[in-house]
Structure 1
Amino acid sequence: MDYKDMLKDIKNNELKRVYLLYGNEMYLKDYIISDIKKKYIDKAFESLNMIYIDGKETSTDSIINACETLPFMSDKKIVIVEDLPLFTSKKETSNLDEEELCRYLEKLNASSCLIFISNEAKIDNRKKVVKIIKQSGEIVQLLKLKDMDLIKWTQSIFSRNDKKISSTDIQYFLHQAGYYDASNNRTLYDLENEINKICSYLGERETVEKEDVKKGVIKSLQNNVFALVDALGQKKADEALSIFNDMILENEPIQLIFHMIIRQLRMLMLTKLYEEKGYSQGDISQKINVPTFVVKKLVSQTRNYSSSNLYMILEKALDVDRAIKTGKMEWKLAVEMFIAEISN
């Protein structure tokens, strides 16, 4: 189940008795809770009908007691338990009696909705408590938004600030902001902050232009790496080395920069091979697990390289990595020599 299905449950007044929300995109968690409050909770009785429990400090009895107390002047009582150390394979001490909680979940009070929230990227599906929640309610994975969902959300935040932006410039903004960078944990909250900065910069002006995005958003590591690999393909050694040294001045670890360069080259190689086999950009997106707008950028960048050229570069990168790890070369010098050699 994804977050949109849970929003439908709320809208249709069909809340299940128990939910488990987990994943990296906590913006969606807050959005869901906000929707529940609007639908079910009268502000005058919020303290009675919406109970927050710290899962790291609670006991099974506390959770059960909160659920068993009937709602006051309302059809539903919402009990939210966050960070309960039961849903992952990590071994953490707690005051919980897991067996007792499992027995209770099977006969949960119909007037209550119990929502567990785990801020972890994964849960342990082998756990008995997870299996029971699947049977009695729903498990909702809060993944990063993709493609049209992400574009629509971005458009809505700009609109909320009374600003207009084209779909093309939205994609440019998302690329610049680095929402899908493997090297960071950027969330929708981070994107919202970037949008607010751009809107403040615009002042009274309504339309957001590409240049506004360029000035308002600090380039992410992934974007710098993309520009560096682009310069490599165009044989612009000076530009590639300049980008590399700028990243070092921004305190990016050289090891991470080199790892990201190799990752970008691997994605280019895969994109090139799939494209030569006749795969559509949508298919390639699913194959290499990146958004469609990123694939469009990759397809554009592959025109600077042949398949054999990319294979040779990756082989060279492997040699450089081996030389560094065996102590034959120092990190900065090795990467600079790699960039210079590939550019020439």
Structure 2
Amino acid sequence: MLYGEAITQIKKNNLKNLYLIAGEEKYLADKFLKALLQKILPDNNINDINKFDNNATINDIIEACSSMPFFTAKNIVVVHNNNLFNKNSEKHEQHFIDLLENMPDFTTLIIETDEKLDKRRKLYKIIDKYGLIMEALPVRSYNISEWLKSKFREIGKQPDTESFQYLLSTISLMPQVSLGFLDKELDKLSLYSDRRDVRKNDLINILSGLPEISAFALAEAVGSKDVSQALFLLEKELNSGVNAISILTILTRHIRQLWKIKYYLGRHFNANDIAKTVGLVPFIAEKLIRQAQKFNIQTLQQAIIALAEADYQLKTGTAAPALLEDIIIRICR
């Protein structure tokens, strides 16, 4: 069960005695755990929680779950442990399974793991049968729309079409999407303006510190083969103190996307198939398709090689940031 559905279950008071929070997206895992504890611990007394980490043994957890609470109505056990699902623990897990199948009514057991779980394991299937599994999967730019809409509802804001597409386009340039960072940045909209509607300039001002924002226009200019605008923006970025490697990273990602799209165009993929294959929301894919059609695939391949060499030279100090200017000119030629 993904985050949104799992949160809905909590809000509907469909509570379980057993929870598994699994996955590497720490922001979603922490947010779900916080919401769950607020529901089952309305007085928010964290002293009522029995906490265990990787050092906990299965026997430790069984004993904690089986102990009657004396001063609280509920026995809450939270275990952050990646070892429970390792193959080395399989020979000890039958006792644990016996507990899960017969969890005392006075206990709520919450297990957290950062690992991607093997759903074929008996332990996983038992937890799925008797409890609720929340998968904290990484969010990518192509599947972040629902999270963004939920976040805007949470802060009482409504972006117009232009601003929402601008935000998605910007996020698509991020090598890795950090929900925790985006959450904090979008919270600033509540302080930035009293208006309910969100406009493109609002997002530009809020997110102006992101290198992805500052280099976004540069990548777009290169993709459009607008060499004059690209060189102007490059000079502006460098003079503003933006790290050349940050610019290079975003430009490389953009050119790689164009190369992939050009490859699939050559195999007669349509826009929807390209969007799914490359991992882009459709309107971004359509925009990049228009850019990719301006290049031949050899130019894009050579650009990727040149950008990789520039990355090495910049990181080893054997090249000046001006090297980017030459690469941009060659790409746009």
Q: Would you call these one fold, judging by a TM-score over 0.5?
A: yes
Q: Which amino acid aligns with 2:319?
A: E
Q: Quick check: 1:195 aligned with 2:186?
A: yes
1:279 to 2:270 alignment: yes
Secondary structure of residue in 2 paired with 1:125: coil
1:123 aligns with 2:123: no
CA contact (8 A) 1:224 1:243 kept: no
> Match of 2:126, as an amino acid?
S
Relative to 1, partners in 2 of residues 1:45 and 1:190: Cα closer, same or farther, differing over 3 Å?
A: closer
Q: Which residue of 1 aligns with 2:126?
A: 136
Please name the residue that 1:170 is paired with.
Answer: 164
Q: Secondary structure at the match of 2:188?
A: helix
- Deviation string 1:179-220 (CA, Å, 9 cap, x unpaired) is x55434511x32232222232121x44432222222221253
Q: 1:317 aligns with which of 285, 299, 304?
A: 304
In structure 2, the CA distance between the partners of 1:238 and 1:71, relative to structure 1 (3 Å rule), is: farther
What TM-score results when the alignment is normalised by the length of structure 1? 0.73
How many residues in Structure 1 have an aligned counterpart in Structure 2?
A: 317
| The 10-residue stretch of structure 1 (208-217 or 67-76) with the greater mean CA deviation from structure 2 | 67-76
CA shift digits 1:252-271 (9 cap, x unpaired): 362x6434423312212333
Is this contact kept in 1: 2:224–2:291, CA < 8 A? yes
Measure the CA separation in 2 of the matches of 1:304 and 1:227.
Answer: 14
2:244 and 2:57 map into 1 onto residues whose CA distance is 43
Q: CA deviation at 1:132?
A: 3.7
1:215-230 to structure 2, matched below 5 A, reads: 215-218=205-208, 220-230=210-220
Q: Distance in 1 between matches of 2:311 and 2:33?
A: 49
Taking only the aligned residue pairs, the percentage that are identical comes to 20
Which residue type is aligned with residue 123 of structure 1? K
**Match for residue 92 of structure 1?**
none
Q: Which residue of 1 aligns with 2:329?
A: 340
Matches within 5 A, 1:194-213: 194-202=185-193, 204-213=194-203
Please list every run of 5 or more consecutive structure 1 residues that lacks an aligned counterpart in the other structure: 90-95
Kept in 1, the 8 Å contact 2:2–2:135? The answer is yes
Q: Which amino acid aligns with 1:13?
A: N
> Quick check: 1:113 aligned with 2:111?
no
SS at match of 1:313: helix
Identify the residue that residue 93 of structure 1 maps to in structure 2: none
Aligned equivalents of 2:32, 2:311: Cα separation in 1: 48
Could you tell me how far apart the structure 1 residues matched to 2:8 and 2:158 are? 28
Q: Is the 8 A contact 1:40 1:74 kept in 2?
A: no
Instruction: Please tell me whether residue 240 in structure 1 is matched to residue 244 in structure 2.
Output: no
Contact 1:81 1:115 in 2 (8 A): yes
Aligned with 1:303: secondary structure?
Answer: helix
Maintained 8 Å contact 1:225/1:264: no
2:284 maps to 297
Q: 1:252 aligns with which of 231, 243, 253?
A: 243
Q: Name the SS of the counterpart of 2:197 in structure 1.
A: coil
TM-score normalised to structure 2 length = 0.75
Is residue 155 from structure 1 mapped to residue 139 from structure 2 by the alignment?
no
Q: Distance in 2 between matches of 1:324 and 1:210?
A: 32
The separation in 1 between residues aligned to 2:331 and 2:109, in whole angstroms, is: 57
Q: Give 5+ residue unaligned stretches, structure 2.
A: none
CA distance in structure 2 between the aligned counterparts of 1:184 and 1:335, rounded to whole angstroms: 23
- State how far apart, in whole Å, the 2-side matches of 1:206 and 1:196 are: 13
CA distance in 2, matches of 1:13, 1:71: 22
Measure the CA separation in 2 of the matches of 1:31 and 1:270: 35
Give the conservation status (yes or no) of the 8 Å contact 1:262–1:314.
no
SS at match of 2:112: strand
Question: Paired residue for 2:50?
Answer: 51
Q: Would you say the 8 A contact 1:106–1:136 is kept in 2?
A: no
> Is the 1:2–1:140 contact (alpha carbons within 8 Å) kept by the matching residues of 2?
yes
Give the SS at the match of 1:51: strand
